[in-house]
Structure 1
Amino acid sequence: MNLSSQLTQTAAQYQSKPAYYFEGQTATYGELEGAVTQFAAGLKELGLKKGDHAALILGNSPYFVISLYGAMRAGVTIIPINPIYTPDEIGYILNNGDVKAVITLDVLIPLFEKMNGALPKIEHIIVCDTPLSKEKASADISQLSVYPKMKSFTNILGLGAEGGEFPELQDDDTAIILYTSGTTGKPKGAMLTHKNLYSNAIDVGQYLKMSKDDRVIAALPMFHVFCLTVSLNAPLMTGASLLIVPKFSPAEIFRLSKEYEATVFAGVPTMYNFLLQYPDGNPEDFTSLRLCISGGASMPVALLKGFEQKFKVVISEGYGLSEASPVTCFNPLDSPRKPGSIGKSIVNVENKIVNELGDELPPGEVGELIVRGPNVMAGYYKMPEETDHTIRNGWLYTGDLAKVDDEGYFYIVDRKKDLVIVGGYNVYPREVEEVLYNHPQILEAAVLGVPDPNFGEAVKCFAVLKDKAVTEEELIQYCREHLAKYKVPGSIEFLEELPKNTTGKILRRALKQQVLQN
């Protein structure tokens, strides 16, 4: 069984039930199933075959859902990419991921026209209208003959109107490759199989008691694995209805929850903070919610308690990572929730704490969190050494320090070394530093995370200049041109020299102490 075949079964059982709501429009499970089949057949007509790679560069919309499930049905491996990435970031993933086709937004047409020569492997660019630019988009798409690689999403559906036969999907076939920031500065592609994704969606749905009666707010970005499993795949497997949010805003969350009587909301701590601080937030709008889910970063206990006290709804905090599809732990719904804990192992997944030798540690002792289960990735795309380092004897080594108590509740003590989490998004300092080192006036640079009241953490840089001819704002603007918005430093502090140990290694902890002292 896989996500595509399970959707077919769900659609047969709930043919006329709403599968999703989006900006006043509704589609039933029968309609969604039909569109998925048409899109899969359209991709086949284009010449895409099992094992080919296609990238999704889309925001939250029905386009994403149909493209995701249509590609999987056709046996095509999907690579989701954040639409706000810079051309350099997008280009690297497209080339490294051997992408043959791209499904993207009409507003990104100029980007692909400009990058055409740098993307020799791309054969097809399928363009979707954005809701606010349909008139303009129609004009652009009608002239796509000037760039033969481009086709409209609607035309691809038309190509597949007759349906067709699709390849048999095996459990260990790669369904999705998720690119995550690497400590070397280059993203790594985590290969998730059909078994990985299906098992985690089913297990999460079971653990969170999702059913056909749920209406799940999908406000997290769909290209992120948290949303993919918790707010998209798990609900669709159980016959629940999605409330698709194009872009997170507190006003829209309150409106949707009240209008559609939402039952489940999943978000990162930053979202909960914005909802709590929203001056017009009415607790009565959340009376239908039976469950709130938090992940992506550790939630401050004060925020968790403040939200629950105001809105009278329990937040279940969990833990996951891209390499595990992603969920490994959640606070259980049928036993006490422990603030500050990521909860217990979900069904079919094992978590344990080990020392440097791989030996399991007793409760209360801090060590590395490792994971085993049907949700653990097959490996990193074209990176066998990284794969062997991360997966050992069937266990995924997360790099996170944690502990477990006598009742099986896990607690994250510290994150992967140097990792910065901005509003739930991972930022690795080396990636930002590589950009800074390309600036002609930078002699040395070190990046770390500092506390931020809105996003949990913010990126801060310490730099040593070759001369004084560059300002902080000029360097920040330089970063904006080469990095996604959430990776750009919020501040850059200039020093005469960076603290180092006897081997010349920059001491980040000394810089962190300096931040705390200030």
Structure 2
Amino acid sequence: MNLSSRLRDTAARIGEKPAYFFMGESSTYAELDAAVTRFASGLEQLGVKKGDHIALLLGNTPQFVISLYGALRLGATVIPVNPVYTADEIGYILHNGDVKTVVGLDLMIPLAEKMHERLPKVENYIVCETGGDREPDRSTLSISPKMKTFTDLLAQGSQDFQGPELEEDDVAVILYTSGTTGKPKGAMLTHGNLYSNANDVSDYLKINEDDRFITTLPMFHVFCLTVALNAPLISGGTLLIVPRFSPGEIFAIAKEHKATVFAGVPTMYNFLLQYHEGKAEDLETLRLCISGGASMPVALLENFERKFNVVISEGYGLSEASPVTCFNPLDRPRKTGSIGRSIVNVQNKVVNELGEEVPEGQVGELIVKGPNVMKGYYKMPEETAATIKDGWLYTGDLARKDEDGYFYIVDRKKDIILVGGYNVYPREVEEVLYNHEEVVEVAVLGVPDPNFGEAVRSFVVSKNPQLTESELLEYCSEHLAKYKIPDRIEFLDELPKNTTGKILRRALKKQVLQSN
């Protein structure tokens, strides 16, 4: 079984059920499956073959879903790309990923014009029309011989297309991880990886045909791809596709469509909590909220649950694991601050530097094993060998496990701050500051210090413009050992974030280094 064949089976079983709603429009499962088939057929007519690489430069749209499943049905390998990346960032991924076909909004045409000479392997540009009034004259473009519209491709596709046989080990998707150093690495996820993780997540969270899933996380990101797109679709649920996150829009859509599940990163929950017009009754149909992508501060989790009377199940994952390895279970007590227990079919373990499992309660590196673990990094055998050892994926995250099998992320291995030989975990300091009633957001990182090697630096967004650094430092001194107290607390209007809402510590660190 794979994602494409499961969609076909679902369409045959509940074809008239809504598969998604998007900006006032909707599609049944039968209509979605037919569009997927025609798209796959249209690609084949363009000369795209099984194993060819197709990049998607699309936001949260039905075209993303159709392109993804259509390419998979053809046996092509999909490379989702953040459409707001710069030309250099996109160019690197398209070149390194050996992309032959690009599917994107017509807004990408000027970018394609700029890059196409550097990308001779790209044979096709499939353009999704946005209906803008400033579209370029396509007949004058140098890429026009390679260009076709999404609408035309669907129209010429055949409904009789069957597609090739797909093996579990065939690469379905290559996800370029953002990484913290060097160029992004392409994690190769197979059909077996993606299907098993979507299926296991669906089972673990009891996702079913009655669920209406708010899909506002970026579809090009693995968190959304598995948890808020693939898992609902293989379960017969309905996607409520939101083009971009907006607190007001989330409350409105949840109320209008009686949403049952919301998935987001901690920053999204913070924005929803701070949104003054948000009412608990707007979210009363939610049976579950899911958090991932970054550790959620305990204070934020508790305040959100108290205000909106809904449970947040925090989980953990990474691109290389398709991505989910842990979730807080729904059939037993949730432990605040924990990422939960291993989902079915996946093993998590905490080990020391020698790869030996450490006793309960001790901190070590989290490693993962299961059918969800990637095949490897594209064209990077050395990196693959350093990351996957004896079938175990080394995550680079520091964690501990308690006596009940619940895991807790302590911090990123590389984010530890060494203050005079003492380890300081940024998350511990962040948790303290988040507990201050006038603090909205926090980021803590290590900065160079001539006396102690590193010092703790904190960046804070406050709801009270009168709050002072000395007040917060005094607050920290009541809850933290002296060496853990920030050397400085800087107030910002907002913290830098990527398109998934994850706080960019690297941008803050760069800011500090440039100011010194």
Instruction: Report the TM-score when normalising by structure 2.
Output: 0.82
| Residues 232 and 239 in structure 2, CA contact (< 8 A), matched pair in contact too | yes
Structure 2 vs 1, CA of residues 485 and 362 (structure 1 numbering), >3 Å: closer, same or farther?
closer
Distance of 1:381 and 1:494 partners within structure 2: 33
Answering whether residue 157 of structure 2 is matched by residue 160 of structure 1, we say yes
For 1:489, what is the secondary structure of its paired residue? helix
Shift of 1:149: 1.2
Partner of 1:67: 67
**Which structure has the higher relative contact order (CA within 8 Å, separation 6+)?**
1
* Structure 1 residue identity aligned to 2:24: G
Percent identical pairs in the alignment equals 66
Answering whether residue 39 of structure 2 is matched by residue 20 of structure 1, we say no
> Aligned ranges for residues 314-353 of structure 1 at < 5 Å?
314-353=311-350
Structure 2 vs 1, CA of residues 487 and 96 (structure 1 numbering), >3 Å: closer, same or farther?
farther
* Structure 1 residue identity aligned to 2:4: S
Distance of 2:243 and 2:506 partners within structure 1: 23
State which of 342, 362, 366 in structure 1 corresponds to 2:363.
366
State which of 199, 202, 221 in structure 2 corresponds to 1:202.
199
| Residues 22 and 61 in structure 2, CA contact (< 8 A), matched pair in contact too | yes
Cα RMSD (Å): 2.5
Partner of 1:122: 122
Residues 333-388 of structure 1: per-residue CA shift (max 9 Å, x gap): 01111110000000000001111111111210111100000000000000000000
Partner of 2:400: 403
Partner of 1:392: 389
| Residues 58 and 64 in structure 1, CA contact (< 8 A), matched pair in contact too | yes
Partner of 2:29: 29
For 1:417, what is the secondary structure of its paired residue? helix
Distance of 2:46 and 2:34 partners within structure 1: 19
Distance of 2:514 and 2:101 partners within structure 1: 46
Answering whether residue 303 of structure 2 is matched by residue 313 of structure 1, we say no
Of 159-168 and 171-180, deviating more is 159-168
For 1:360, what is the secondary structure of its paired residue? coil
* Structure 1 residue identity aligned to 2:288: L
Shift of 1:145: 8.2
Of 44-53 and 144-153, deviating more is 144-153
Partner of 2:238: 241
Partner of 2:111: 111
Answering whether residue 373 of structure 2 is matched by residue 376 of structure 1, we say yes
| Residues 342 and 410 in structure 1, CA contact (< 8 A), matched pair in contact too | yes
Distance of 1:56 and 1:85 partners within structure 2: 12
State which of 291, 296, 301 in structure 2 corresponds to 1:294.
291
* Structure 2 residue identity aligned to 1:348: N
For 2:326, what is the secondary structure of its paired residue? strand
Distance of 1:391 and 1:98 partners within structure 2: 24
* Structure 1 residue identity aligned to 2:375: A
| Residues 213 and 238 in structure 2, CA contact (< 8 A), matched pair in contact too | yes
| Residues 266 and 294 in structure 1, CA contact (< 8 A), matched pair in contact too | yes
Of 251-260 and 484-493, deviating more is 484-493
- In structure 2, stretches of 5+ residues that fail to align are 417-425, 428-442, 446-453, 463-497
For 2:255, what is the secondary structure of its paired residue? helix
For 1:492, what is the secondary structure of its paired residue? helix
Shift of 1:253: 0.3
| Residues 106 and 127 in structure 1, CA contact (< 8 A), matched pair in contact too | yes
| Residues 113 and 141 in structure 2, CA contact (< 8 A), matched pair in contact too | no
| Residues 268 and 296 in structure 1, CA contact (< 8 A), matched pair in contact too | yes
Answering whether residue 73 of structure 2 is matched by residue 76 of structure 1, we say no
* Structure 1 residue identity aligned to 2:27: A
Answering whether residue 214 of structure 2 is matched by residue 217 of structure 1, we say yes
Distance of 2:9 and 2:16 partners within structure 1: 13
For 2:104, what is the secondary structure of its paired residue? strand
Distance of 1:88 and 1:63 partners within structure 2: 25
Aligned length: 444
Partner of 1:268: 265
* Structure 2 residue identity aligned to 1:253: I
Partner of 1:503: none
Partner of 2:414: 417
| Residues 93 and 176 in structure 2, CA contact (< 8 A), matched pair in contact too | yes
Structure 2 vs 1, CA of residues 127 and 315 (structure 1 numbering), >3 Å: closer, same or farther?
same
Structure 2 vs 1, CA of residues 312 and 147 (structure 1 numbering), >3 Å: closer, same or farther?
same
